[in-house]
Amino acid sequence: MTHEPGNWGIVAVSMRSPTARTQLEPQGGVFTSVTLGPDGWDPSIVGSIVQVILAPDDTGKTIDAMANPDVKIVSLTITEKGYCTSPATGSLDLAHPDIAHDLANPGNPRSAIGLIAAALDARRLAGRRSFTVLSCDNMPSNGALARASVIKFAAQHDKELANWIANETTFPSTMVDRITPATTQEDIEALAEITGYHDASCVFHEGFRQWVIEDNFVEGRPAWDKAGATFVSCVDAHETMKLRCLNGTHSTLAYLGYLAGYDTIAQTVADPHYAALCKQLWQQEIIPTLQPPDGVDLNAYCADLKTRYQNPAIRHRTWQIGMDGSQKLPQRLLGTIADSLDAGRVPYGLTLAVAGWMRYVGGVDEAGNAIDVRDPLAPALKQATDEASTIKGKVDALLAFDEIFPKALSGDTRFRNLLVQSYETLERSGAKAAVKRMVTS
């Protein structure tokens, strides 16, 4: 099987917004990748995108593109919510509005799962080989989750299709790690001053990058290893390490930092108590739950994370990281909490982070200002919070969301009591004081 670096291109598909197409088409798919370092910006040109498609505009064109035998890999970066699963169970939610629509209209799907199933069916009926489905989203066992979702969806219509996908399609899991703040208009204008050209689709990111991929492809792949990717037989240990060490502390800093008035992660960890909280979480609550990947020193890995967080050039907003918390908490925080409790340890810091999320989704910050909560469950979460008159009531109301909290955890008295105490501390003293108390007591 060949792994050639130079004969591959990307057909980019936007699932919702026309912005990417509007920005990239006039530029021929070319965009600028800007490395943000403490000493300045390092821009480079990326020209691997050969076409941009807006799926809602022409579903048939999207399916035809994926069914084209020249396409060997369909990669996904659609965030947790794009998989239309129940976060508590990890299984495809057949009642999800997009999935229900696609089951009723299989020829005109609007979810990524529905599009993949339709394209694979077209391949099967045409007697063509399958493609590889490569999930690049921050979820444990993302390949296995994508596989289960696509097969479950297909089985609702055609058992033969589901069996063909199970036998002919591969779904490698991956772990991707690079901090990429949202691009602002100020960033675009500043880049234009440096380079002399306007690039509306420029992307800004840190210097660090890591891509770990299970080497299981239907029909070849690019030689990504020549550009630094790592190919392994199983990615589980790497992705769990990243989700818990990086994403877990990122979410912690996002909610507790936002409540304290900090706009970015770098500003948040500039507060010595928040930096100390990260160290405490890693050493006492997160690392003890992990099996280190081969050749990885977990303490050194976390020390590198701290350095990355402190990079002043990375304006990764706490508000941005706080989006879609109902989808992220199970993977980033709740699994670690459950493992700690099962081992007889008390996860004080991570429970404070969950309490911070509970205050955050209430929609009002410590100064009484409205929070723009971006979450699929935002209205229901706010209603549940508003209808409860006590802190215990608010905690219980939010724990009742079984699409977020597994019943084994929401029904754990230790966790519930600790959440109530943490929420009370946040309400009484504020996030800064709560974090200070956590690391100094």
What is the C-alpha separation between 84 and 99, in angstroms, rounded? 7
pLDDT band with cut points at 50, 70 and 90 for residue 89 = confident
Which whole number is the average pLDDT over 406-421? Answer: 96
Q: What is the pLDDT of residues 262-308, one digit of tens each?
A: 999 999 999 999 999 999 999 999 999 999 998 899 999 999 999 99
- Could you give the percent of the chain with pLDDT greater than 70? 98
Which whole number is the average pLDDT over 2-26? Answer: 85
Q: What is the pLDDT of residues 366-402, one digit of tens each?
A: 999 999 999 999 999 999 999 999 999 999 999 999 9
| Res. 90: pLDDT tops 80 | no
146-168: buried (b, 16+ CB within 10 Å) or exposed (e) per residue? bbbbbbbbbbbeeeebbebbeee
* Domain ranges (residues) in the chain: 10-232, 236-440
Q: Which CATH class is domain 236-440?
A: mainly alpha
Where is average pLDDT lowest: 4-13, 53-62, 376-385?
4-13
| Res. 1: pLDDT tops 60 | no
What is the C-alpha separation between 52 and 323, in angstroms, rounded? 26
Q: Which helix (H) or strand (E) holds 155?
A: helix 142-155
Q: How many residues does the chain have?
A: 441
* Crossing angle between the packed helical segments 413-429 and 335-342, to the nearest 10 degrees: 120
DSSP 8-state symbol, 75: E
Which CATH number does the domain 10-232 belong to among 3.20.20.70, 3.40.50.720, 3.40.50.150, 3.10.129.10? 3.40.50.720
Q: What is the pLDDT of residues 196-220, one digit of tens each?
A: 999 999 999 999 999 999 999 999 9
What is the C-alpha separation between 330 and 91, in angstroms, rounded? 13
What is the C-alpha separation between 370 and 372, in angstroms, rounded? 7
User: Token pair for residue 426?
Assistant: 């946040």
Q: What is the pLDDT of residues 146-158, one digit of tens each?
A: 999 999 999 998 9
pLDDT band with cut points at 50, 70 and 90 for residue 88 = low
pLDDT band with cut points at 50, 70 and 90 for residue 317 = very high
> Across the chain, what does the average pLDDT equal?
94
3-state class of 345 per DSSP? coil
